[in-house]
Structure 1
């Protein structure tokens, strides 16, 4: 577990549920690409997932987690959410909506719990990494452990 002074909302949520995780910190004055985060931490980029927040045509919000080197297929995402279409939330709207900034958005500990789907490639890995709730922090844990903390569906979400 991480030192108390470094706890984020995501880590406090994980601690409260007793979930097993590892927090990894790195110096980073501003948001990096997910591929660069993977390089800095020495983690295969296929097991580092980015957290993307979208809005459906209905006005509902959805969270999608995909490998950092991949692109979200909006049609597949809409189908997974049961929407006709979804669009990415604007960067400036991310903080008021989730409590997180671009580059530090975790699927855990948002202001509200949104339906969340992760790309099915997560099952190829014993552990995945994703934002720990601030720039310069990643959480590593098993996908099944993550699914015990937040409602998490698996789907084919990436552009091939």
Structure 2
């Protein structure tokens, strides 16, 4: 069986430019699916698969949170981490314009701008995490610290217990 050709996305180009070790993981998908389903499709435990969420604290104030797919973002903890009184989820209709990515394919790597980024502290306990590769059907596996270095992220507790 022929191996599926990986299309280079902004996320992959950026990792290659910075010589960051990573592995691309392609999977078949008819459209956006939830992160737990992605974990099953690619054969990795859900605790290693992270989703990318974009929040806003008003015009031009965007914050990116990378959290386990099984977890829910604690908006109060997210606001504290960002130094804001309040953050809200970015409206889905604005995601492509703000990040350059679509729902289900939003990577923390290679967005249109480098927004302040926070990775849930649970990632520090793992030898690798998997995040979107920048399009539906593509994931990237890399070390949590490598992701943090590439996107200038901070590890913080931002999920609901």
TM-score above 0.5: yes
Q: Which residue of 2 aligns with 1:25?
A: 26
SS at match of 1:122: helix
Q: How many residues align?
A: 159
Cα distance per residue 1:52-101 (max 9 Å; x no partner): 00001475100000000110000000000000000000111000000000
The 5-angstrom pairing of residues 118-157 of structure 1 reads: 118-157=119-158
SS at match of 2:79: helix
How has the CA–CA distance of structure 1 residues 57 and 96 changed in structure 2, closer, same or farther, with 3 Å as cutoff? closer
Q: CA deviation at 1:148?
A: 2.1
Q: CA deviation at 1:4?
A: 7.7
Distance in 2 of aligned mates of 1:124 and 1:62: 23
Cα distance per residue 1:6-39 (max 9 Å; x no partner): 1100000000000000000001010000000001
Q: CA deviation at 1:146?
A: 1.1
Contact 2:119-2:148 at 8 Å conserved across structures: no
Q: CA deviation at 1:47?
A: 1.0
How has the CA–CA distance of structure 1 residues 46 and 5 changed in structure 2, closer, same or farther, with 3 Å as cutoff? closer
Task: State the TM-score, normalizing by the size of structure 1.
Answer: 0.95
Distance in 2 of aligned mates of 1:130 and 1:10: 10
Q: CA RMSD in A?
A: 1.5
The 5-angstrom pairing of residues 1-160 of structure 1 reads: 6-57=7-58, 59-160=60-161
